[in-house]
């Protein structure tokens, strides 16, 4: 695996060296990303949603994270899906329509599609439209009998999906333990939204489990620095899209396990006193101040099932690996 800091595509040092000091510009209408970044910088503690990691470059970096030796969730979930695909397909039934939330590179759904009996349609939803379209075209070529309709959208917001094609179940697919990125109240709200959207069908969801803190620390602080590049790419994206002047080298990646709250916390830490411009405002940072970029909550099997019941699902089957690192749940809607 190549070191991301040595690639011209992700040379943060070069970008920082080219960044010039400038006066705040006059306010202009901002994108959703811009509005949330401005609000996040104005609050204390500072925070920005992890959904903004996933521009084209961020999506590519995350795909690389999934291949890292330290990052167990992807390979463990893939193993569960591969070994238990027949049982999962039996729960879902024939003629299903699959709705994948946060579809990304569409790798895991292939195991599901190969096992299902005559799936009718696949609706991948992802906020990174460019990355999604490219992945959907590859999937269409490999599954010519399957109707594939990518939807570039924020899946955490209410969505109007196309009318069902047939009588099979509408099944949600939410792998990767992305549910852990939400605050507890946000996770409940998403599951309630999904339960309404999937009524009569169900949700297949991958969930990372509570485990040894050392293993968790290694997974989010890989030796090659890819996770650090992924985190810092958020600032690069802001510079490119919002005309901010973040000094990329002026911030460091930090990730740690908060045991009492059973979650990884990821931050960008200011290495020194500095200021950043956005839309006519200057936001000062003192050395050591952070921008919180992601939570990754870990669950027990029983805790996830209790949350699902509260959201309106009926928990049925659950599959785990032998080490109980990860779990995949079938929740009837």
| Contact present, 167 and 95 (Cβ < 8 Å) | yes
Q: Which of 109, 122, 179 is nearest to 151 (CA)?
A: 122
Residues 186, 109 share a domain:
yes
Residues 47, 62 share a domain:
yes
Q: What angle do CA 187, 68, 132 make, to 5 degrees?
A: 55
Residue 3 lies in a domain: no
Q: What is the pLDDT of residue 26?
A: 55
Q: What is the pLDDT of residue 143?
A: 95
Q: What is the pLDDT of residue 158?
A: 82
Q: What is the pLDDT of residue 25?
A: 52
Residues 118, 226 share a domain:
no
Residues 249, 193 share a domain:
no
| Contact present, 40 and 291 (Cβ < 8 Å) | yes
Residues 221, 311 share a domain:
no
Contacts of 110 (CB under 8 A, 6+ apart): 139, 142
Residues 325, 197 share a domain:
yes
Q: What is the pLDDT of residue 127?
A: 82
Contacts of 106 (CB under 8 A, 6+ apart): 100, 124, 135, 136, 138, 139
Q: What is the pLDDT of residue 188?
A: 97
Residue 4 lies in a domain: no
Q: What is the pLDDT of residue 27?
A: 59
Reported pTM:
0.86
Residues 313, 286 share a domain:
no
Q: What is the pLDDT of residue 30?
A: 86
Residue 115 lies in a domain: yes
CATH of the domain at 141: 3.40.50.150
State the Cα–Cα distance between residues 3 and 217, nearest whole angstrom: 20
Residue 230 lies in a domain: yes
DSSP 3-state assignment of 319?
strand
Residues 142, 98 share a domain:
yes
Q: What is the pLDDT along the chain (333 residues), one digit of tens a residue?
A: 333 333 333 444 444 444 444 454 555 678 999 999 999 999 999 999 999 998 989 989 999 999 999 999 999 999 999 999 999 999 999 999 999 998 877 889 999 999 999 999 999 998 877 878 888 999 999 999 999 999 988 888 888 888 888 788 999 999 999 999 999 999 999 999 999 999 999 999 999 999 999 999 999 999 999 999 999 999 999 999 999 999 999 999 999 999 999 999 999 999 999 999 999 999 999 999 999 999 999 999 999 999 999 999 999 999 999 999 999 999 999
E-only strand ranges, 247-289: 251-258, 263-270, 274-278, 281-285
Residues 77, 190 share a domain:
yes
Residue 323 lies in a domain: yes
Q: What is the pLDDT of residue 13?
A: 45
Residues 91, 55 share a domain:
no
State the Cα–Cα distance between residues 326 and 207, nearest whole angstrom: 6
Residues 81, 64 share a domain:
no
Task: Residue 307: give the domain boundaries.
Answer: 72-157+165-211+300-332
Residue 57 lies in a domain: yes
Residue 23 lies in a domain: no
Residue 205 lies in a domain: yes
Output the DSSP codes for 81-97.
HHHTHHHHHHHH-TT-E
Q: What is the pLDDT of residue 4?
A: 37
Residues 272, 173 share a domain:
no
E strand or H helix that includes residue 98: strand 97-101
DSSP 3-state assignment of 263?
strand
Domain total in the chain: 2
């Amino acid at each position: 695996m190549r070191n991301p800091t040595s690639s011209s595509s992700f040379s943060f040092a070069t970008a920082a060296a080219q960044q010039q000091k400038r006066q705040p510009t006059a306010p202009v209408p901002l994108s959703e990303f811009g509005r949330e970044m401005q609000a996040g910088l104005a609050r204390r503690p500072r925070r920005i949603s992890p959904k903004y990691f996933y521009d084209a470059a961020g999506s590519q970096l995350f795909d690389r994270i999934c291949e890292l030796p330290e990052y167990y969730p992807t390979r463990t979930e893939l193993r569960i899906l591969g070994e238990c695909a027949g049982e999962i397909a039996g729960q879902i039934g024939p003629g299903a329509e699959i709705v994948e939330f946060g579809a990304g590179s569409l790798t895991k759904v292939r195991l599901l599609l190969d096992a299902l009996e005559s799936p009718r349609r696949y609706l991948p939803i992802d906020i990174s439209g460019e990355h999604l379209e490219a992945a959907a075209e590859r999937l269409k070529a490999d599954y010519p009998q399957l109707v594939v309709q990518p939807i570039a959208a924020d899946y955490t917001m209410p969505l109007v999906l196309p009318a069902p094609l047939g009588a099979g179940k509408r099944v949600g697919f939410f792998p990767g333990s992305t549910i852990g990125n939400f605050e507890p109240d946000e996770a409940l709200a998403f599951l309630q939204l999904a339960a309404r959207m999937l009524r009569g069908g169900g949700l297949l969801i991958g969930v990372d489990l509570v485990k040894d803190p050392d293993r968790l620390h290694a997974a989010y602080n890989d030796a090659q620095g890819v996770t650090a590049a992924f985190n810092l790419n958020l600032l690069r994206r802001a510079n490119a899209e919002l005309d901010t002047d973040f000094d990329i080298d002026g911030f460091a990646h930090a990730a740690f396990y908060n045991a009492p709250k059973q979650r990884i916390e990821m931050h960008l830490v200011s290495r020194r006193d500095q200021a950043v411009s956005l839309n006519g405002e200057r936001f000062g940072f003192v050395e050591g101040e952070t921008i919180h970029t992601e939570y990754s909550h870990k669950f027990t099997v029983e805790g996830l099932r209790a949350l699902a019941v509260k959201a309106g699902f009926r928990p049925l089957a659950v599959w785990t690996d032998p080490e109980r690192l990860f779990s995949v749940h079938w929740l009837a809607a």
